[in-house]
Each structure stands twice: as C-alpha cells, then as structure tokens.
C-alpha cells in the first residue's frame, strides 16, 4: 500500500486536471451510500463530528474517507477539519494507497464548486467575493479562475487577520484582492459569491443579491449550519451537488421548513448538469445557487486521479 503524503497529493490535484476528473466521474455509475455521521461529545456537550464516507465503482476502485470536524479548533489555531482517505481495488479489496484526506477534501470541494459554476455563473464573471478564509476558501479563487476570467477578489472572514492574510496571498498570485469588513458590500459588488465557512447562522441575505449573481454555498453540511438566509432560496434557481443536501444542510432544511423553498423547486443536481440532463443558467439576470454538502464520489475521483498520475 502506498503512503501518499500531503505534498504529493496536492501536486497531482491541479484544478485543470481535477475539475474535468470530477465531471467525468459524475458522468459514470458510482455507488455512494449515505455517509455515517456521528456526534462526539464531552461532558454532555457536542465538541465534534465524525463522518465516514464510502464510495465505489464495481470492478474498479473503492474509497473510504474518515473525517473529523471540530469547529472549536480555530480558537487553538488548528484546522477544524481533518481526514484520511484509503483507496482500495474494488475487485479484490486490496488496499492501494493511503492519502491525505485534508488535501483531497479541500481541493475537490473547491473544484466541485467551479465545476457547477461552469453551468451556473455568467461566462463574463470577473468579480469574486469569498466568504471565509479557511482551508477551502483559500483555494476557491484559484479554482474559479480556472473556469472564469476572475480578476478581482474581495475576502471576508470573522477573523479579520485571516482575511487580510488571504488577500495578501491572492495579490501575490495576480489577483486584485482586498479584505473587507462588510458582507453586504461584498455581496452587492460580486458576480460570484462563494461561502466556505462553518457558520451556524445565515451570513448572506437574499436582498443583497443583484440580478445575475451566482451564490456558491459549500460550507454547511449539518442541519445546524447555515450560510444564507431563507430569502436567497426564495429568489434563486437552486442546484445541489447531490440529493443528500436536502437531508443534511440547514441552508436547505430551514427554508423548506419556513415555506421559502420546496424540494419540488430544485432545478437539478451536479450529475444532471454534467450529463446534460438539466440546463444551467438560462438568462443573464437569473440568480443561481449551488448548495453542496460534499459527496464521496468526488473523493474517489480525486484519490484515483492522484494514484493514477503517480503510477503512470
């Protein structure tokens, strides 16, 4: 079994390769059971979550990712999410490789958002507002720049210093980037708004979304987490990565509960977009939402890409 460290994993997940690899996997048959979700408690209070995410293609590859999410880690200067990924031969069950799950998770999350944005954002989008400055958020501008002519980026984070660090890095890499302190200003300015946080309350209000905006929500993955208010879902055409999002994310569960959104209004899934079964953006003035909770299919595609490129 190969041990593939973070540097090797990262080196073989360039967005120009990863985004098409995800698109190809969404076009294929892949078994993806519902993830196992377990709360971790200490002294009667939940401190973290453990996710177990399997996926396989019969006769090809099997992958299992184990993820721990501890939001309180940020106060200690540690990542809130950690994970490992094990890749197997699906025919024999023989383990092939152990990979850095953090790199896979963060890069495939940003890549899936960009894959959806190919169909849902305006082709002439140049202004990106990144909400969050954690591991995934730092990758979002690069993923979107690979599919849209992104030139300007504004960054907001609850930690102002982290937002400034990310903006500085983006400037070094050729973006016109600034950290800002006001969510409304960034939202009203942007062509694309991408939220990658662990927020438990809405950050983006629907009344701030101008016509033609694409709203990307890739942080919330539990019923208690939210990044957008109900009105966002009232005014937008909504797509999800998988139907599991309707069961997992507070961003969808709460608007459904309030009547602002209904599952019958769902415009489609990422697989349907990739297969051409659903049309994406229809007009320049349309407001679109991509709500993702992550899927093990993406992890399997990313891990297979790394393994195949290393063993070519």
Task: Express each pLDDT in 27-46 by its tens digit.
Answer: 998 999 988 889 888 888 88
CATH number at residue 216: 3.40.50.720
Range of the domain at 228: 113-294
Q: Which position has the token pair 């939001």?
A: 71
Tokens of 33: 């059971």
Q: Which residue has the tokens 């659903």?
A: 278
Do 39 and 89 lie in one domain? The reply is yes
Is it the case that residue 226 has pLDDT exceeding 90? yes
The CATH number assigned to the domain holding 97 equals 3.30.1780.10
**Number of domain units in the chain:** 2
* Mean local confidence (pLDDT), 238-256: 94
Tokens standing for residue 197: 């946080």
Question: 74 and 135 in one domain?
Answer: no
Same domain, residue pair 74 and 57: yes
Residues 52, 154, single domain; the answer is: no
Q: Are residues 254 and 136 part of one domain? A: yes
The model's pLDDT over 272-281, given as tens digits with 9 standing for 90+, comes to: 999 999 999 9
- Report pLDDT for 81: 80
Same domain, 288 and 167: yes
Query: CA-to-CA distance for 187 and 127, rounded, in angstroms?
Result: 10
What lies within 8 Å, CB to CB, of 281 at 6+ separation is 119, 120, 121, 122, 214, 237, 288
For residue 257, the model assigns a pLDDT of 95
pTM of the model: 0.92
Tell me: the pLDDT tens digits for 53-102? 999 999 999 999 999 988 888 888 888 888 999 999 999 999 999 999 99
How confident is the model over 128-143, as a mean pLDDT? Answer: 96
Tokens at residue 82, please?
Answer: 């950690």
In the prediction, which pLDDT does 75 show?
A: 84
The answer on 264 and 134 residing in a single domain is yes
Classify the C-alpha dihedral 90-88-105-202 as positive or negative: positive
pLDDT in tens, 136-193: 999 999 999 999 999 999 999 999 999 999 999 999 999 999 999 999 999 999 999 9
């Amino acid at each position: 079994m190969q041990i593939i460290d973070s540097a090797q994993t990262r080196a073989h997940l360039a967005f120009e390769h990863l985004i098409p690899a995800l698109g190809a996997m969404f076009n294929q048959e892949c078994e993806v059971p519902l993830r196992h979700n377990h709360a971790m408690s200490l002294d009667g209070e939940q401190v973290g979550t453990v996710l177990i995410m399997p996926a396989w293609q019969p006769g090809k590859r099997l992958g299992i990712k184990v993820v721990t999410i501890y939001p309180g880690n940020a106060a200690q200067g540690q990542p809130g999410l950690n994970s490992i990924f094990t890749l197997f031969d699906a025919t024999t069950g023989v383990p092939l490789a152990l990979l850095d799950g953090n790199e896979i998770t963060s890069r495939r999350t940003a890549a899936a958002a960009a894959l959806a944005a190919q169909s849902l954002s305006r082709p002439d989008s140049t202004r990106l507002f990144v909400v969050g400055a954690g591991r995934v958020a730092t990758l979002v501008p690069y993923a979107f720049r690979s599919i849209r002519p992104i030139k300007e980026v504004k960054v907001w984070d609850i930690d102002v210093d982290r937002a400034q660090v990310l903006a500085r890095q983006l400037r070094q890499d050729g973006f016109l980037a600034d950290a800002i302190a006001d969510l409304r200003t960034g939202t009203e300015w942007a062509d694309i708004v991408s939220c990658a946080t662990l927020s438990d309350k809405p950050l983006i209000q629907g009344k701030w979304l101008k016509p033609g905006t694409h709203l990307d929500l890739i942080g919330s993955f539990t019923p208690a987490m939210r990044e957008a208010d109900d009105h966002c879902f009232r005014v937008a055409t909504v797509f999800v990565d998988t139907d599991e999002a309707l069961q997992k994310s507070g961003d969808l569960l709460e608007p459904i509960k309030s009547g602002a959104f209904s599952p019958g209004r769902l415009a489609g899934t990422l697989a349907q977009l990739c297969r051409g079964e659903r049309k994406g953006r229809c007009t320049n003035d349309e407001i679109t939402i991509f709500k993702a909770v992550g899927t093990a299919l993406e992890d399997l595609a990313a891990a297979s890409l790394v393994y195949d490129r290393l063993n070519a």
